[in-house]
Amino acid sequence: MHKNAVGRYIPESIKGYGQLKPFMGSDSYNPEQINKQGGIIKRYSSDRNKVLSSIEEAIKATGLKDGMTISFHHHFRNGDMVLVPVIEAIARMGIKNLTLAPSSLTEPHDVIAPYVKDKVITKIITSGLRKKLGEMASNGEIEYPVLFHSHGGRARRIEEGSTKIDVAFIAAPGCDFMGNINGTDSITPCGSLGYSHIDAKYANYVVAITNDIKQTPLTRISIPHYLVDYIVKVDNIGDPKKIGTAATRITTNPMDLLLARISADIIAASPYFKDGFSFQTGSGGAALATTKFLKEHMLKRNIKARFATGGITSYQVELLKEGLIQTLYDVQSFDLNASLSMRDNPNHVEMDSSFYANPFNTGPIVNYLDVVILSALEVDTKFNVNVVTGSNGIIREASGGHCDTAYGAKLTIVIAPSFRSRIPIIVDDVTTVITPGEDVDILVTERGIAVNPKRNDIKDWIKDAGYPVYDINDLKNNIEKITGKPQPIKFTDEIVALVEYRDGTIIDTIRKIAK
Partner 1 sequence: MKKIEKRRSQLYVPGNSPSMLQNCMVFGADGVLLDLEDSVSIYQKDSARFLVSQALSFLNFGDIEVVVRINAIDTPFCKDDLEAIIPLKPDAIRLPKTSSVEDIINYENLISQIEEKNNIPIGTTKIVPMLETAIAIENAYDIAKSSKRIVAITIGGEDLTADLKVTRTREGQELYWARAKVALAASAAKVAALDTVYSDVNDDEGLRKDTQTIKELGFDGKACINPRQIQIIHEVFNPTPQEIEKAIEIIKASRQNEGGVVSLNGKMIDYPVVKRAEITLSRAGINPSDI
Q: For the CB of residue 261, give the shortest distance to partner 1 in the complex, in Å.
A: 8
- Closest to partner 1 by CB, 253 or 345: 253
Q: Where are the alpha helices (DSSP H) in 93-195?
A: 113-117, 131-138, 151-160
Taking CB under 8 A as the criterion, the residue among 258, 317, 365, 387 binding partner 1 is 258
Which one-letter amino acid corresponds to residue 102?
P
Q: For the CB of residue 446, give the shortest distance to partner 1 in the complex, in Å.
A: 4
Q: Which of the stretches 124-132, 254-262, 365-373, 451-459 binds partner 1 when contact is defined by CB under 8 A?
A: 254-262
Q: Which of the stretches 248-256, 303-311, 397-405, 488-496 binds partner 1 when contact is defined by CB under 8 A?
A: 248-256
- Closest to partner 1 by CB, 242 or 261: 261
Report the C-alpha gap between 240 and 249 in whole angstroms. 13
How many distinct helices (H) and strands (E) make up the chain?
14, 31
261 touches partner 1 by CB under 8 A: yes
Taking CB under 8 A as the criterion, the residue among 482, 485, 492, 494 binding partner 1 is 482
Distance of CA 422 to the CA centre of its chain: 27
CA atoms within 13 A on the CB side of 4: 25
Q: For the CB of residue 481, give the shortest distance to partner 1 in the complex, in Å.
A: 8
250 touches partner 1 by CB under 8 A: no
Q: For the CB of residue 287, give the shortest distance to partner 1 in the complex, in Å.
A: 18
Q: How far is CA 232 from CA 206, 207, 212, 406, in A?
A: 11, 7, 9, 39
Q: For the CB of residue 296, give the shortest distance to partner 1 in the complex, in Å.
A: 10
Q: For the CB of residue 281, give the shortest distance to partner 1 in the complex, in Å.
A: 19
Report the C-alpha gap between 244 and 436 in whole angstroms. 28
Cβ atoms of residues 212 and 175 within 8 Å: yes
Report the C-alpha gap between 239 and 149 in whole angstroms. 26
446 touches partner 1 by CB under 8 A: yes
- Closest to partner 1 by CB, 166 or 256: 256
465 touches partner 1 by CB under 8 A: no
| 213-214 and 121-126 beta bridge pairing | unpaired
Q: Which of the stretches 66-74, 93-101, 247-255, 384-392 binds partner 1 when contact is defined by CB under 8 A?
A: 247-255
Nearest Cα to 510, choosing from 398, 389, 425? 389
- Closest to partner 1 by CB, 220 or 261: 261
Cβ atoms of residues 349 and 192 within 8 Å: no
Q: For the CB of residue 472, give the shortest distance to partner 1 in the complex, in Å.
A: 18
Measure the CA angle with vertex 37, ends 144 and 507; round to 5°. 45
**Count of residues engaged in binding partner 1, rule: CB under 8 A:** 10
274 touches partner 1 by CB under 8 A: no
- Closest to partner 1 by CB, 243 or 413: 413
Report the C-alpha gap between 200 and 18 in whole angstroms. 26
Q: For the CB of residue 450, give the shortest distance to partner 1 in the complex, in Å.
A: 16
- Closest to partner 1 by CB, 482 or 514: 482
| 442-445 and 448-451 beta bridge pairing | antiparallel
Strand, coil or helix: 333 = strand
Q: For the CB of residue 419, give the shortest distance to partner 1 in the complex, in Å.
A: 8
- Closest to partner 1 by CB, 262 or 411: 262
Report the C-alpha gap between 209 and 55 in whole angstroms. 8
255 touches partner 1 by CB under 8 A: yes
Taking CB under 8 A as the criterion, the residue among 111, 257, 303, 349 binding partner 1 is 257
Report the C-alpha gap between 444 and 258 in whole angstroms. 10
Which residues bind to partner 1, rule: CB under 8 A?
A: 252, 254-255, 257-258, 261, 446-447, 481-482
